[in-house]
Structure 1
Amino acid sequence: MTQTVAQLLVEYLEARGVDHIFGLCGHTNIAVLAALEKSSIRFVNTRHEQIAAHAADGYARASRKTGVVLSHLGPGLTNAATGVANAALDSIPMVVIAGDVPSHYYGKHPHQEVNMHADASQFEIYRPFVKRAWRVERPDHLPEIVDKAFHLAESGRPGPVLISVPMDIFSAEARSTLFDRVKANASAYQKPSIDDTTARTIVKTLLSARKPVMYVGGGILLADAAQELRDFADHLGIPVAHSLMGKGALPDDHPLTLGMTGFWGTKYINDSCRNADYVLALGTRFCEADCSSWEGEYTFNMPPTKLIHIDIDPSELGRNYPVEIGVIADLKQALTVLNRVARELLPQPRGNESLRQEIAANRKQFKSSNAAAEASAQFPMRPERILADVRAVLPRDAFITTDVGWNKNGVGQQFPIYEPGTILTPGGYATMGFGAPAALGAKIARPDRVVVSLVGDGGFGQNPAVLASAVEQNAAVVWVVMNNLAFGTIAGLEKAHFGTTFGTVFRHNDQPYSPNFAAVAKAYGVDSVRIESADQFKPALEHAVSCGKPYLLDVIMENAPVPTAGHWNIMDIYSPGRKVSHVST
């Protein structure tokens, strides 16, 4: 019996447990779409490939499964590139399957071919940011390539891969046994752990340390190791600071949670890390903003602070700070061993009550410093009031997506996350336009959970067509557009350092301007409201969350900077020797 390669591919994806594919049609991939029509796999149709990639990213984070994207060639593939690169920088497993030009037309420059430097070379575009890019040359090569692609996307440090398939191969007839060998392959491989000798060395070092700190990144969440982290911190009584991507790995109301470090961290959190004698780093790459541009007087000072670093990716060890002990291991496996060894060496947990009280007092003081803004009745609304009302309305396990600007930086600093993995934010690439479609993917992955996207007007304006997909999928996402009529964070920087907001503030006829996003949402068939007072917002959000339908709230907000005592040396680049802050005056 023979079938098309596209049909056999879809059957393989079904057998692998793929239940959603995000994408957009084109003449090179309609053989796959036709095969999906009768499949158990649900195709999520989007209006732009960047939406498809971000939605697949959000789906992968919320479901802990690999996101799958189906793309057309040429402009379809380049449209998706930003979303795929964002997934790469945040280590999100993703398989991109793209149609390509017919193999018998290589070099003839057929419709939409990319061949400026080599014939049929569109897959080369993705090489800088995917773990691997394949171009399929023959139908019988596809099974092995697809199987390798999923394993590579999911193994080691996760990330996206690309499979570029000429359209004639999708339509070729092949025997139904084509994929039989790879279907027999294990769908997942065992991950590396840590040996007992190394674990004992680490635990003994931490037990004898004067002021140890654990510093966790998004790798904890990718490894599904939040519970193991919590057990280890509780038993040894060690405080936990985190990067932006590590937020929520330990709940923000846990008594040992310090908070986010770096530019948007508080002085107390940064000083706790800088004054530590040992830092145990877990699944972090020590990003610039999280580490105050790696300048030792602000967040981390290594040396003299000594570093123990555990990561699945060997390239991260010793890259930004020298390590005393470097371990290549899966964090869930490593922490399982560390927890067992810790209990052997220290049978009873170490309470460290004085430290817990110190953290609680600092947390209370920081909360009180924002109290007036969180309760402010002014309109346009204070951003702190928006965040406080959102947190008050949402259940502990609600998913939050952010974009960039106040909704990312302010959330990282001020918005408590209580369940690991429930904040989805564009960390490494900081991609404007991520938050709105990522929420769609998260809701499709977890229809049982509340999903709210906190997104600026600049970010939402990037991909408003996500609303159409939400209507088609009956995905009850709530979008809160924090609308300051500007690319607000950049406007503040430009004003502070150069005395102007040129190109950063939205104006029409020399007046502040914004599209009416509530009206835009209604045009797509999404219920919406434009908030006209601070007291209107919270009940409107409660209704939006409870109505069970896609909903948008357009909230006019004051363009105020995220307050911080932290450091980022872009300030010194803008204004060398002047010590100008990020706050415009």
Structure 2
Amino acid sequence: MKDIVANQLIKYLENRGIKHIFGLCGHTNIAFLAALSKSEKIRFINVRHEQIASHAADGYARVTKKASVVLSHLGPGLTNAATGVANAALDSIPMVVIAGDVPSHYYGKHPHQEVNLHADGDQWEIYRPFVKRAWRVDNAELLPEIMEKAFALAESGRPGPVLVDVPMDMFSKEIDSAIFEKLNQNAKTMYKPSIDDELAEKIVKTLAEAKNPVIHVGGGVILADATKELQEFVVHMGIPVSHSLMGKGTLPDDHPLVLGMTGFWGTQFINDKCKAADYILGLGTSFKEADCSSWYPEYTFNFPPTKLIHIDIDPSELGRNYPVEIGAVADLKNALRVLNRVAKRLYPQARQNQALKDEIAANRKAFKASNKEVEESNQFPMSPQRILADLRDVLPRNAIITTDVGWNKNGVGQQFPIYEPGSILTPGGFATMGFGSPAALGAKVAAPDRVVVSLIGDGGFGQNPAVLATAAIENIPAIFVIMNNHAFGTIAGLEKAHFDTTFGTIFEKDGKTYSPDFAAIARAYGVEGITINKAEEFKPAMEKAIAMNKPVVIDAWMVNNPVPTAGHWNIMDIYSPGKKVHHVSTN
């Protein structure tokens, strides 16, 4: 039996369990959309900009822990989506991008919107620097095999996005349905590598005999769904845990052995504990620059004399930034299962470290006390600490937070408690402005029964305001909290500190700071809009937004004070060599 590729592709996606596709139409993909319109199992989330589609799919994949699907048009559609796909790539998020392309029989003739400046039919090459693989489908009968490889590659090893570039005529070609049907015999999940008992015993004994061991975790633990196994190991071994920005929420922030986030936006206590460690067990972390204070040994990590045990699914991460004494390539869930079994065999009684727990608790209490004044301040524009504190007070423990960049990312990493694994979605490696609000759409679609809040600056929200059209039309009840400082605030603080100007970073009109009326913009899209006029209004507004269970924008003006930091960033030495200058307030 024969049928056109588009119809069979939709059936294939249904059989894989795909429930949502994020995307935007174009003349190259309407055959796919026509086939999708007949599906009773897949919901199409229609957006107004392809970057919104890829960021939303990113947020969706982080919550579901399965590859999401993006549908794109050729040329500008594909390049619009590229920022979101690259963001997913740097944060190891599985995604399959299906993009329409020019007709295969028109390669070289430069048909409408073709990219062919270096080779004919060349648009798929645009994604090669950041996707795990890019395929161009030159034979319709090869598409089934390519799709199977695409999902397998996106979800295996170190996860990430892939591109399947489909010339538009391929969607309309008829092929034998048996080619797609035989793929049903393939296993859709594969066994992942682990470690053996001998290596586990070596690691456990080394940690047990260490004087000041620390476990440093990254986002790879969450991607591997290994948070329960990690907590079991931490509790049994009694070892404190630090985390990268992407590792936040791996263990609850109120766990007695959680130190907190390291690096530039880490606190002195956390950085000092890591610097003083004799052994660090790194799990699913790349030891990125911001998490390591630009790798300067006097601030966060000091290898050597500290020694590193590193387990990661990606062998290229082992020894990349720090020398490794014991390195293992393994799936973290499997590896931690073995470590737990061996640890309990070697040390049947859980190891206690009450003095360390008391020290961590005292530091938390002191840090909270140091913020008390700004968290309770009635000043307006609001203090960012008050926004975060009030928000945490009203949110359920399992609420999902998506952040953008600036205070809503760095301040959240440092000061906002996260209690459920995977409940904070933040743009780590790419630090993409504009990620937060579309990611909230994807997260809410993936988890409709959980409260989803996007924390985003006014600069970031201005990147993709059309997210509100999708929220309204698709009835996606995410809450968008705009931490509005009338600026690209973090960059403004940097420029002011080092060059004594805020040129190009502050939003101004006629000599005064400027902001659109975001609440009015929300209402114009058919979304509830609330403007905060004094600090005391914020918490009731959040409670109201949660109770309404529909999309809401809350515009909260705040001062542009920098996130306090005890770490370091190499750019400070570039801007102001020989000086200890970070950020300053622009208010």
TM over 0.5: yes
User: Is 1:263 equivalent to 2:275 in the alignment?
Assistant: no
Deviation at 1:176, TM superposition (A): 2.0
Which digits, 9 at most, give the CA deviation of each residue in 1:368-420, with x for residues without a partner? Answer: 11010000000000000000000000000000000000000000000000000
What is the CA–CA distance in structure 1 between the aligned matches of 2:249 and 2:173, rounded to whole Å? 48
Structure-2 residue corresponding to 1:301 = 302
Q: 2 CA distance for matches of 1:237 and 1:577?
A: 40
Q: Secondary structure at the match of 2:3?
A: strand
Say if 1:493 and 1:582, in contact at 8 Å, map to a contact too: yes
Q: TM-score, normalised by structure 2?
A: 0.99
Amino acid at match of 1:3: D
Residue by residue over 1:251-287, the C-alpha shift from the partner in whole angstroms, topping out at 9 and shown as x without a partner, is 0000000000000000110000000000000000001
Distance 2:581 2:205 in 1: 44
SS at 1:108's partner residue? coil
Give the corresponding residue for 2:6.
6
Alignment correspondent of 1:35: 35
Q: CA deviation at 1:581?
A: 2.3
Question: Counterpart in 1 of 2:22?
Answer: 22
- SS across alignment from 1:178: helix
Counterparts of 2:278 and 2:564 in 1: how far apart (Å)?
A: 28
The answer as to whether partners of 1:8 and 1:179 remain within 8 angstroms in 2 is yes
| Alignment of 1:541 onto 2:542 | yes
Could you say which residue in structure 2 is the equivalent of 1:198? 199
Matched, 1:581 2:567: no
The CA distance in 1 between the partners of 2:569 and 2:367, in whole Å, is 21
1:177 partner SS: helix
AA aligned opposite 2:427? P
Q: Contact 1:241 / 1:260 at 8 angstroms: preserved in 2? A: yes
| Paired residues of 1:571 and 1:582 also in contact (CA < 8 A) | no
Matches within 5 A, 1:309-324: 309-324=310-325
Distance 1:516 1:13 in 2: 41
Counterpart-to-counterpart distance in 1, 2:241 and 2:566 = 20
Report the residue type matching 2:28 in the other structure.
T
Paired-residue identity, %? 72
| 1:174 equivalent in alignment to 2:199 | no
Map 1:505-544; keep pairs closer than 5 Å: 505-544=506-545
- SS across alignment from 2:207: helix
* 1:69 match: 70
1:191 and 1:330 in contact (8 A); partners too: yes
Please tell me whether residue 434 in structure 1 is matched to residue 442 in structure 2. no
Gaps of 5+ in 2: none
What is the one-letter code of the residue matched to 1:391?
A: R
Is the Cα–Cα contact under 8 Å of residues 560 and 585 in structure 2 kept in the other structure?
no
Q: Map residues 67-216 of structure 1 onto 2, 5 A cutoff.
A: 67-216=68-217
Shift of 1:174: 1.7
Distance 1:53 1:147 in 2: 21
Contact 1:493 1:584 in 2 (8 A): no
| 1:524-573 CA distance string (max 9 Å, x none) | 00001110000011001100011011001000111110111211121111
Aligned equivalent of 1:483? 484
Q: Is 1:353 aligned to residue 354 of structure 2?
A: yes
Residues in 1 aligned to 2:156 and 2:269: alpha-carbon distance in whole angstroms = 37
Question: How much does 1:583 deviate?
Answer: 2.1
CA distance in structure 2 between the partners assigned to 1:396 and 1:342 by the alignment: 31
Q: State the shift of 1:181 in Å.
A: 1.9
- Is the contact between residue 78 and residue 99 of structure 2 (CA under 8 Å) also seen in structure 1? yes
Instruction: Tell me which residue corresponds to 1:377.
Output: 378
> Contact 1:389/1:538 (CA < 8 Å) preserved in 2?
yes
Cα distance in 2 between the residues matched to 1:339 and 1:178: 44
Mapped to 1, the partners of 2:208 and 2:513 lie a distance apart of 58
Contact 1:282 1:311 in 2 (8 A): yes
- Work out whether residues 278 and 305 of structure 1, in 8 Å CA contact, stay in contact via their aligned partners in 2: yes
Separation (CA, whole Å) in 2 of partners of 1:25 and 1:4? 19
Q: Quote the offset at 1:175 in angstroms.
A: 2.0
Distance 1:56 1:490 in 2: 28
Q: Is 1:364 the counterpart of 2:350 in the alignment?
A: no
Partner AA of 1:404 in structure 2: V
Q: SS at the partner of 2:524?
A: helix
Q: Could you give the per-residue CA deviations for residues 334-369 of structure 1, whole angstroms, max 9, x where no partner exists?
A: 000000000000001011111000000011111111
| Alpha-carbon distance in 2 for matches of 1:581, 1:552 | 32
Q: One-letter code of the match for 2:217? A: V
Give the residue type in structure 2 aligned to 1:17: G
CA deviations over 1:154-178 (Å, ceiling 9, x no partner): 0000000000000000011122222
1:3 deviation in Å? 1.4
Letter of the aligned partner of 2:546 in structure 1?
V
Cα distance in structure 1, aligned partners of 2:86 and 2:341: 38
Tell me, in whole angstroms, the C-alpha distance in 2 between the residues paired with 1:234 and 1:256: 8
Q: Partner letter of residue 33 of structure 1?
A: L
Please state whether the residue corresponding to 1:148 is helix, strand or coil.
helix
Supply the AA of the counterpart residue of 1:322.
P
Partner of 1:339: 340
1-side partners of 2:386 and 2:63: how far apart? 27
SS in structure 2 of the partner of residue 578 of structure 1: coil
- Residue 85 of structure 1 aligns with an amino acid whose one-letter code is A
Amino acid at match of 2:32: V
- The aligned residue for residue 235 of structure 2 is 234
Determine if contact 1:400/1:423 at 8 Å carries over to the other structure.
yes
Please state how far the C-alpha of 1:62 moved relative to its aligned partner.
Answer: 1.1
1:91 counterpart letter in structure 2: S
Report the alpha carbon displacement of residue 584 of structure 1 after superposing the two structures with TM.
Answer: 4.4
Report the secondary structure of 1:193's partner residue: coil
Alpha-carbon shift at residue 105 of structure 1 (Å): 0.3
Residues in 2 aligned to 1:193 and 1:44: alpha-carbon distance in whole angstroms: 37
Quick one: distance in 1 between partners of 2:580 and 2:470? 47
Structure 1 residue identity aligned to 2:15? A
* Aligned equivalents of 2:138, 2:560: Cα separation in 1: 53
Q: RMSD of the TM alignment (CA)? A: 0.7
Aligned length: 585
Could you list the per-position Cα deviations for residues 290-323 of structure 1 after superposition, in whole angstroms to 9, with x for gaps in the alignment? Answer: 0000010110000110000000000000000000
* Alignment match, 1:473: 474
Match of 2:293 in 1: 292
TM-superposed deviation, 1:103: 0.4
Q: Distance in 2 between matches of 1:111 and 1:501?
A: 42
Q: Structure 2 CA distance, aligned partners of 1:8 and 1:177?
A: 10
CA–CA distance in structure 1, aligned partners of residues 552 and 66 of structure 2: 26
Residue number in structure 2 paired with 1:572: 573
Q: Which residue of 1 aligns with 2:249?
A: 248
The match for 2:409 is 408
Q: CA deviation at 1:80?
A: 0.2
- The more displaced of 404-413 and 172-181 is 172-181
TM-score, length-normalised on structure 1? Answer: 0.99
Instruction: Say which SS state the counterpart of residue 530 (structure 2) adopts.
Output: strand
Name the amino acid aligned to 2:291: D
